[in-house]
Structure 1
Amino acid sequence: MRHGQSLGNASGSIDSSTPGPVLSELGQQQAEALVGTLGDKNYDAIYASTMVRTQQTAAPMSSYLGLPVQVLAGLQEIEAGDYEGTPESEAASGYMQAPLAWSLQGNLDARIPGSIDGNEFNDRMGGALQTMYDNGDRNPIVFSHGAAMMFWTFMNVDNLTAVQKMELLGQSLSNTAYVVVEGNPEDGWTLVNWNGQEFSPERTFGAELRLQIRTLSRQWQAAAESVGTSLATHDPVAIATALNRGISDAGFSLLKFNRAVTAEVIERMEKATAKSVPASRVSPAASDEPQESEVDLRAAVTPVEPVVARQEARELVKAGAPQRDTAVTQAAEEAPERAESANAVSDVTGSAPETAISKLKSQLKKDADKDTVKSRIADRRESVRAKVGATAETIKSRLGVKPQRGSSSVKAGAGSSKDKGADSRSSDSGSDGGSDGS
């Protein structure tokens, strides 16, 4: 929470001195108003910087919640150095140049003339937050300063992109504006709310990559420590075992790292693709009422004529399947119905008619190949039956055994071609029904 208006703010000059100016009359009113706005959040601790204006802003909240104001070093405003006392209106071209480099370029070595660099600032703010965490406080309210709050947030949260940071720079934190972050010094921080603007908790890709690198480093460190412990034993067997296990663990850790990063890339690409899909490619079922543009697109699709589909199917049959295959001929006859189905698909997806015809050809070709194979299997089955029947008759003849009437094997082997053709068709029908038992 930024402090209320101070006399320094009212003067329009930069004042980062400690203890610094007190609140103005307006600042006192702003501090009182905070109780009505945030007093029922049930904070478990109240912290303020070493500058008096934050302590005065925290006082009404302290009285309302019955909690003391804990003054904590490290939360104070970024020291202006050589820019102390200069107009606040000129801060962007002077005082703020180094903090912008810290937060947008990652250049923590940039230094404010006569003051601190990014490393020193981040360490002192991080140290104050670590103290709160070590105290066991999990829902504190912290009274600090505009520049300190803005640039620490930019430097430490894991769900802000560079574009979002640039947008927030244009929304400077006015007096008693607030920023809500969640997390801890160990696992990192996430921006939840920027003075009323909610933010997604999803990490940026860079933050996710840093997290995975940290995880990999810790796993490798654990493997190395295990090997180091074994070396202290001076036992060759223990050392060899630890080395093998360490190498195996390190390799497995790298594998998990690669899997995690790859999965993250794929997930983000899928989300980006889903967001970029135009409305015309979405099924009408996705909304209660189709939009006018969707209706126009569907009406613009030229339907596949049944006659054209029939001719395409027949040409495919002639090119890729035997003429005697009745199943393929039936598929050709069903081409208009398939065409109508293709039209229905093109209506929903916006696919061109040529694409529907191409898919129809491909499906018919698959059907032709499938039914041709079934026919050949049936023919081969009948041939085997005939040979087995003939062999059986030969053996019986040599043994002097008289053939029995009504034998299905003899009938299959010695029947007419007409009977054989009937059996073949029956087999085809059984195959289409999925019960040929092959």
Structure 2
Amino acid sequence: MRRTRCSTSCAARSGRTPSHWTMVPDGRVERALAQTEMLAACLHGTDSGHLWVGFSGGVDSTVLLHALRSSPNTVAIHIDHGLDPAAPEWAGHCRAVAEEFGVAFESRSVRVDSHGNREDAARRARYRVWGELLAPGDVLALAHHADDQAETRVWQLLTGREPGGMPNARRLGAGCVVRPLLGVRRRDIVDYAERHELRWIDDPSNADLDLDRNLIRHRVMPRLEARHPGAVERLAARRTVPVARLRPLPLNETSEQGVLAWLLAAGLPTPSKAVAEIRRQSLARNDRMPRVGIVPGMQAWRYRSAWHLVADREVSSPVDSVVLRVGSDWRGNAGSLTWRRAEWGLEAGLGVSMGPRQGGERIRPRGRNRTKTVKALFQEARIPPWQRAGWPLLYAASDLVAVPNLALAHGLATPHAWVPRWTPR
């Protein structure tokens, strides 16, 4: 391993005076950090909860700690990976800065395999410590910023991973991790540090191009930005987690902390009215399926003891009313109807009418002794409510003969015939 040394940077050492500092015109860093303080206050949940700030001593975490130094129960947590002889000096620097800010300080040492992928091993070691550290009501604030997010997504693409990036917030251990600076550029963070005359560590290993992240940072990103101005902002602004892959929020996790973390993990805003309404509707009767608007184009639906984020485009519109024949495929705005051969089905060429559900329909499925409501069939098959309006029903004359994917009417099914399959759009 190459030996590195610790160097300290500060505005005073740079020789710049306040009159030469460039203020961030729109207060980007300050606004992001003000939101962090409000978010942290909400996420704590209890007076005993700690706000842990991951503190490496670098400029990013120094700015974050400086901004949060007045928050209740703030603790700087430093991880010594033991990969550099200067590590004790870095830990001493971090302790001194924390004392200067009036913030409690803790340090943990971890063992990292220096052979293999050092970046990945160090990251796993950090998160293992943090996961063990966080108690219920605790929040860990990390100083990843927009440039980090863009670099992460490029790295994920190059290594064949889903380019989801880093989530704004997620569960860790018994607490929660938040990344309040993901919308802030690195240059604005440095500007903030210099304006406040902060001192920080420049880790020489950040220039080691043998490490993937450094190669992307120093060689790939500058060329992308030069060729496509604004590339970093666009990469960083991409939604953190595809909504379809975000886990539902169980009703027993709808504390203010839980709802905020859930929305942030999807890269969504956290409007106070929507958060309050989700919590209120979580107490509704079990047979209720309320929905809450989050932002234009996105809703939260309560279904099967959990909340689900659903984009407007995923909500089915009522299926068209059309006449067709068994065996003839059909495609419309709500989805597509296809047919396949089966042991039992409807006779080919039979004329049927397809239309939307009106409510209260009943059918006696083949092989059953009793009729069932279409609603009960939906519930048994776990068809989510946002897809039900677009689910077609098939009639022969006035008789309900099929609910695609779910039931064929008893007495009308014939052997070696056709069954309908419905695929929502």
Q: Taking structure 1 as the reference length, what is the TM-score of the superposition? A: 0.27
Greater percentage in helix: 1
Give the structure with the larger strand fraction. 2
- Structure number with greater CO (CA < 8 Å, separation at least 6) is 2
